[in-house]
């Protein structure tokens, strides 16, 4: 089966790109499952229920989040009620929402998605390395295919997670930095790995934000309200192929499509 992991959707330009292009990409690549990180979908921070529902309608099967999961209060009840949207599993257990989803693809394959957050510069309530083995074992008990979104800053953390879960999951895909890395790898145990999937949004920017605003903040140290940039919009991510019966990955490559 073929899985598209869509990298961090940033603001309206990123949302529009997915809404306009995903139906045709699903067809063109024969996609069975689409997972998208949407933690920057609402003007660069967080996501709302309306935005999430529009992404589902466009062909996203499961939405993952990250350190901005709770920036929009409106989404809290939706995180509780809709099983297709995830926040990191190692956030506090009392925070709204869940960290694992199981969906059924058109051909009847059960696929699980697990969302984890790293520890460097981010607020992980529990170590992702402590919770990951148990979480993926639970996911594997009900699904053959397991995709992990590891939302983390450090390359080392992401590579280590890929190695820890090698042979236990179909793919470990890194998110959060918004810069796509050139290391799609099939690990020895049959797990697809990519350090960072990149960003779905405006690349004429500083990781999605208008360059002038970022420079003003860095150059003056004053608070500056960030706004999404507009130009050079791309859909980025990872394209994964796997054996649906065993969950073993057979191919992984970076994905990048220019929009406009
Ligand atoms: Fe993030």
* 155 CA → ligand 1 middle, Å: 14
* Encoded tokens for 171: 């793919």
Average pLDDT over residues 243-247: 96
| C-alpha–C-alpha distance, residues 151 and 116, integer Å | 6
* The predicted structure's pLDDT at residue 81: 98
Model confidence pTM above 0.95: yes
* 123 CA → ligand 1 middle, Å: 11
Residue 260 has pLDDT above 80, yes or no: no
* The predicted structure's pLDDT at residue 175: 98
- Asked about 68 being catalytic, the answer comes back as yes
- Among 29, 68, 151, 203, which one carries the catalytic annotation? 68
Sign of CA dihedral 27, 194, 64, 146: positive
Q: Which residues pair with 206 in a beta bridge?
A: 209
How would you write 154-222 as a 3-class SS string?
CHHHHHHHHHHHECCECEEEEECCCCCCCCCEECCCCCEEECCCCCEEECCCECCECHHHHHHHHHHCC
* 249 CA → ligand 1 middle, Å: 26
* The predicted structure's pLDDT at residue 7: 98
* The predicted structure's pLDDT at residue 224: 96
Residue 254 has pLDDT above 80, yes or no: yes
Residue recorded with tokens 């995709």: 147
Rg from Cα positions in the chain: 17
Tens digits of per-residue pLDDT, 148-197? 999 999 999 999 999 999 999 999 999 999 999 999 999 999 999 999 99
| C-alpha–C-alpha distance, residues 21 and 110, integer Å | 25
Tens digits of per-residue pLDDT, 29-56? 999 999 999 999 998 899 999 999 999 9
∠ Cα 55 90 234 (to 5°): 35
Mean pLDDT across the chain: 97
* The predicted structure's pLDDT at residue 107: 87
∠ Cα 120 41 231 (to 5°): 100
Beta carbons within 8 Å of 209's beta carbon, 6+ residues apart:
44, 226, 227, 228, 229
| C-alpha–C-alpha distance, residues 236 and 57, integer Å | 19
Tens digits of per-residue pLDDT, 92-147? 999 999 999 999 998 899 999 999 999 999 999 999 999 999 999 999 999 999 99
* 6 CA → ligand 1 middle, Å: 14
* The predicted structure's pLDDT at residue 98: 98
* The predicted structure's pLDDT at residue 248: 98
Cβ atoms of 242 and 192 closer than 8 Å = yes
């Amino acid at each position: 089966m073929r899985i598209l992991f869509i990298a961090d959707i940033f603001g309206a330009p990123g949302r529009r790109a997915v809404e306009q292009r995903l139906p045709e990409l699903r067809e063109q690549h024969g996609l069975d499952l689409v997972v998208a990180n949407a933690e920057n979908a609402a003007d660069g921070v967080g996501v709302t229920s309306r935005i999430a529902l529009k992404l589902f309608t466009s062909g996203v099967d499961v939405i993952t989040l990250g350190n901005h999961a709770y920036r929009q209060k409106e989404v809290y009840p939706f995180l509780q009620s809709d099983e297709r949207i995830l926040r990191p599993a190692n956030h506090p257990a009392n925070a709204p929402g869940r960290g694992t989803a199981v969906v059924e693809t058109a051909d009847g394959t059960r696929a699980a998605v697990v969302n984890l957050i790293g520890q460097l510069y981010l607020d992980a309530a529990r170590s992702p390395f402590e919770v990951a083995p148990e979480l993926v074992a639970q996911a594997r008990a009900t699904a053959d295919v397991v995709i992990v979104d590891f939302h983390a800053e450090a390359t080392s953390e992401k590579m280590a997670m890929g190695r820890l879960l090698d042979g236990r999951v179909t793919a470990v895909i890194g998110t959060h930095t918004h810069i796509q890395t050139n290391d799609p790898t099939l690990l020895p145990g049959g797990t697809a790995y990519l350090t960072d999937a990149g960003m779905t949004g405006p690349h004429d920017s500083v990781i999605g934000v208008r360059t002038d605003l970022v420079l003003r903040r860095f150059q003056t140290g004053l608070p500056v309200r960030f706004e999404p940039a507009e130009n050079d919009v791309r859909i980025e991510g990872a394209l994964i192929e796997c054996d649906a019966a065993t969950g073993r990955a057979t191919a992984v490559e970076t994905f990048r499509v220019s929009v406009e």
